[in-house]
Structure 1
């Protein structure tokens, strides 16, 4: 059993972009975990309909 490992979680979130407006998309979080406890989020990205991978820094979370 590894002590430190990388885990990925995908959640569907509501995002807002200026060009497209309100957007429901699958957002993948890449986190570093120690014994199953998440420590730090390393990267957040989303895939578009065309298979393009984009960073989530360009769109805001809408609540």
Structure 2
């Protein structure tokens, strides 16, 4: 099962009138992957992993 939990955004380097960074949506999603069949291994997804430059999401 794959649950999409968010999108990936990148700062453009520009600022809005309020001084906030302008961001554009990139291709890709944050997802939770739940393996429900022990015969499947998580390395199946290794080719799809994208490491972001800065952490975009924090967990509490």
The structure where helix makes up a greater share of residues is 2
The structure where strand makes up a greater share of residues is 1
Q: TM-score, normalised by structure 2?
A: 0.25
